[in-house]
Structure 1
């Protein structure tokens, strides 16, 4: 077993343990391997270790990587989606985790209809009210719910959040609790199920599972530290 395979198995083991601690079925929680900035070769190693579900932050990375990899992989877009890239990415992805405004939802719905697609989407909620992040506020998603459900091409899976980062992973818990509570409220308001919660990353995914995550987004704990290009 190579290093990446060992790290991947360690994450799966920790997910199972977290689920068992809170009486959940580990099979009900998906691992989204976040491969942003990592090369195709690293993704192939993960595929060889049995991983088929991958997340990318940027449309251009999905468009560049997907054709070089097995067709049975599932790709999720987890980063901000610009309206002018919707048409390019929709045919390539199983789900979009970053529907953060009613305008974007309407654009995706319209283009999905033109392409004959029914994309799975998550509504991104900016619970920390951070200006650096996209997403609905809790009040905005409440106010937009009826209009969102009127968009018949979108298969709204549930909610997504990215808590403010803190070295103490326990600080994320309150945000995960808030997202779960908001999801429960919206289900009652809208009368439609929102079964999925996309929350938890490399440093806090176990806490997210304890609070109800159905899909965790783990990158560096699988692939290693990232090296970002800097301006000269």
Structure 2
């Protein structure tokens, strides 16, 4: 019998999935154009398994050691895709290169570090470039004006594959951050060969529906699925 905590997770995941589908309908989009990434940092492997039992297959993690333990604990769950959403450290690059998608490439140094790690692993690594649209000093990310240079540099690397952009807006009300989501989409569309940047990772528990309405293809939802988390450092 499932525990009460596991039941809460499965119920919450299903509710968020329904909200994603409803937001897609409002935006005139098919539900399968948005991937729901369950941000599981600070959560137990049991919580991840509960979400997986409801169909979750995309999980977002910030910390390599925590991720490795969870990956091993749910290794029997088929077709799981792991998303790295934390800060990129050189000494963790080899492990980060094992993720299916890295959302947080904020500068050329990080791109090059991951390129080397991917080459050593012998497999291309898919990444997103993080853009700091609100110019917040506490958050990483390239300034919008500097994105073309970073994109050009990253595209010249041999083992990194840039698939799109990511942003983390300030913790404002959903309608207050809508312009930032729209700005990320516009910024993507203005780059050279924008068709090569299909992914927009934007929107979290408080604002993912607005992000979908503005073009998000990946939403990163933690609290609305798992409840409050205890940070693991």
TM range (shorter): over 0.9
After TM superposition, the score normalised by the length of structure 2 is 0.92
Instruction: Indicate the residue corresponding to 2:95 in structure 1.
Output: 88
Superposition map of 1:196-211 within 5 A:
196-211=199-214
* CA 1:16–1:229: 2 relative to 1, 3 Å: closer
Structure 2 partner of 1:143:
149
Change (3 A) 1:97 1:191: closer
**CA distance in 2 between partners of 1:95 and 1:23 (Å):** 26
Contact 1:145–1:190 (CA under 8 A) maintained in structure 2:
no
1:67 is aligned to 72
Give the corresponding residue for 1:161. 167
Does 2:117 match 1:107?
Answer: no
Distance 1:125 1:9 in 2: 30
Secondary structure, counterpart of 2:59 in structure 1: strand
Residue-pair matches, total: 226
2:175 to 167, 170, 173: 170
Corresponding residue to 2:49 among 44, 49, 53: 44
For the residues of structure 1 that align with 2:95 and 2:194, how far apart are their CA atoms?
Answer: 32
- The answer to whether residue 158 in structure 2 is matched with residue 152 in structure 1 is yes
Q: Per the alignment, in what secondary structure is the counterpart of residue 65 of structure 2? A: helix
Partner Cα separation in structure 2 for residue 112 and residue 149 of structure 1: 14
Moved over 3 A (4+): 227-230
Distance in 1 (CA, whole Å) between partners of 2:232 and 2:197 is 38
* Conserved? CA contact 2:35–2:219, under 8 Å: yes
8 Å CA contact retained: 1:42, 1:223: yes
CA contact (8 A) 2:42 2:232 kept: no
Quote how far apart the aligned CAs of 1:183 are: 0.5
Does the C-alpha gap of structure 1 residues 228 and 146 become closer, same or farther in structure 2, counting only changes over 3 Å?
closer
Q: In structure 1, how many angstroms separate the alpha carbons of the residues matched to 2:213 and 2:68?
A: 34
CA RMSD of aligned residues (A): 1.6
Structure 1 distance, partners of 2:199, 2:31, is: 14
Aligned equivalents of 1:136 and 1:148: distance in 2?
13
Once the two structures are superposed, what CA deviation does each residue of 1:93-152 show, in whole Å capped at 9, x if it has no partner? 101000000111011112211210111100000111111111111122122222211012
Equivalent-residue separation in structure 2 for 1:191 and 1:205 (angstroms): 23
Match of 1:76 in 2: 83
Structure 2 spans left out of the alignment, 5+ residues: none
